[in-house]
Chain A
């Protein structure tokens, strides 16, 4: 039975002592310190990925990713689905095998260790709480596996549940909890073992919006209080911006840009990052000696502050940074466009505009007193525009 288990897990065979977790050996080799957060203060880098590669058949899921996460840092891997962010996380957790490169945790290589010998703790999208165990038993699980004494476990359970504000839920079963409560138990379960790094695998994406915002704030608060090290995988840029020390934007298995949230938002280094973060409108144009025309060769009323080199290019602007009518008059970049339709979004109106073959949207707080079909002036500052070729 057991041999089969090993075989189907596609792991190599291990010495029997390791497999059976003989007490002496387990304590001696267990990389975590059961009495507190890992204390090797000499190294400030908690996690280091060096040229990590992971392939699935012919698809390269993670393509030469290198990443340093300092102690206490909250790094978000942000990207569309299939960008390799979850694969990267699973490589750190030990659920996938590396095809190249190395992973170091607190200065020691861990990529050869099976998941259960790594000092990481994952919060899964589904929560993955043990349905046959109570909340308290779920939280105690990792501690029992690390041979923490019983009274210490009891203390740690109440501490952890206190942190996630679930005191009094000890005897409940996961099926008796709401989605948000389940995720908080999952968080408590992972926090309880005080791992060297917490790995969040889109933990909020299965929850509804208001709960997501609430838990997002809670995770942020916990990070500020406890200063744990974390990697957080998400496709939700709001989450990434709100919580992270640094955001790594991933695309096609590689990190496109890694920076503070503000830097990623204001100074994206690539077209992908610009379009992925925040809303943007793309204006594909051709610059000729005569002026600027759209793809169909029609001249458009686009007046730019700085002259562009001749040829095709894509100009990007953000709806929130566009100014309309009288506000546009003083700005260096201007475009005359016709109102196509108007959306009412509560706090603001979104004007969908057309200028020849160019389409864009502009947000404005309150109505501008123009209707569909009217031609209006739009303007923006130089720093609110990006040009990619």
Chain B
């Protein structure tokens, strides 16, 4: 029987090398579709955007090839732009921190509660994702103004005596941003919590650690990576987003997103808008690098 399937050494060798080659190629073939999409729809436009940021800007003309640092110099010397950068970073930072804290508490609650509540909570967290950002903004327009729900609610509860409007305030912009990013943050953190053995909490208490110490010694280290990832994604989102802060915030809330829009559509200054966008991308990338370096060496504790 063995004679029938025996093959000579040479053809064995060729088949083996072919097998090896397939093994090397397989990951590239699997990666190809994603790679093409990223390169064509993200890589190339980014390169063009960088090129555009060095173009000249003359007489409202859209595309004047050239090479100048004028827009970057303008960006870092004109207080209009430097203030916008600071405002954006400040808003994104505060909103992301709030998102992570609220998302963490919510995910922790869902993780600790019996499984029968889980679906309900997850459905609740998913709900905002079913509605478009624009529709959510319209919702806030019903909520924040003087004759809105919030004012009415506070008045009926007797907490205030005169109608108030929180519409077009930085607080409204902040709330709007937190609301938009919260679901993503929640799901990132919940997936991290689900990887933790709940017995660890009991083991910690059993060994004499108060709930606060258990949180610091066990929960925080085990969820640290998730916190950083959740923070990063919130930060990226809130840095770049344009609609929510400009629709809910005051007219003077000039974020980078708002300025990019204004430079492109209002002033027809595409090179300036590109320069702003490049700074935004670099800033976000820098934050990614920083949070990445804050992650522990051992990101996974399984094997």
A-to-B contact residues, CB < 8 Å? 1-2, 4-6, 8-9, 11, 18-21, 30, 32, 93-95, 114-117, 120-122, 124, 126, 128-132, 141-142, 145-146, 173-175, 189-190, 193
Contact = CB atoms under 8 A, between A and B. Distances in A.
Contacts of A141: 204, 207, 209, 217
A114 B199 contact: no
Nearest to B300: A175
A114 B303 contact: no
Contacts of B202: 93, 95, 115, 122, 124, 128
A93 B298 CA distance: 32
Contacts of A8: 108-109, 112-113
B76 to A, nearest CB: 39
A265 to B, nearest CB: 32
Interface residues of B, number: 33
Contacts, number: 107
B282 interface: no
Contacts of A11: 211
A32 B109 CA distance: 32
A122 B207 CA distance: 8
A268 B207 CA distance: 37
Residue among B108, B203, B211 with the highest chain A CB neighbour number at 10 A: B203
Contacts of B101: 1
B208 A124 contact: no
Interface in B202-248: 202-215, 217-218, 221-222
A173 B300 CA distance: 11
A93 B218 CA distance: 19
B299 to A, nearest CB: 11
A11 B212 CA distance: 13
A60 B288 CA distance: 53
B215 A145 contact: no
Residue among B112, B205, B209 with the highest chain A CB neighbour number at 10 A: B205
A20 B212 contact: yes
Contacts of A5: 108, 211-212, 215
Contacts of A4: 105, 108-109
Interface of B: prevailing SS: helix
B209 A116 contact: yes
B197 interface: yes
A114 B209 CA distance: 10
Contacts of A189: 207
B104 interface: yes
Contacts of A145: 207-209, 213
A199 to B, nearest CB: 8
B301 interface: yes
Nearest to A32: B208
B222 A131 contact: yes
Contacts of B215: 1-2, 5
Contacts of B206: 93-95, 115-116, 120-122
A242 B205 CA distance: 30
Nearest to A117: B208
Contacts of B302: 131, 175
Contacts of B105: 1, 4
B124 interface: no
Contacts of A95: 202, 205-206
B200 interface: yes
A9 B301 contact: no
B103 to A, nearest CB: 12
Interface string B90-122: 000000000001001100110011000000000
Contact of B203 (A21, A124, A132, A173): A124
A20 B210 contact: yes
B213 A130 contact: no
Given A5-B215, A175-B303, A115 B197 contact: no
Interface in B26-81: none
A2 B222 contact: no
A132 B221 contact: yes
B209 to A, nearest CB: 5
Given A4-B105, A116-B205, A126 B197 contact: yes
Nearest to A18: B210
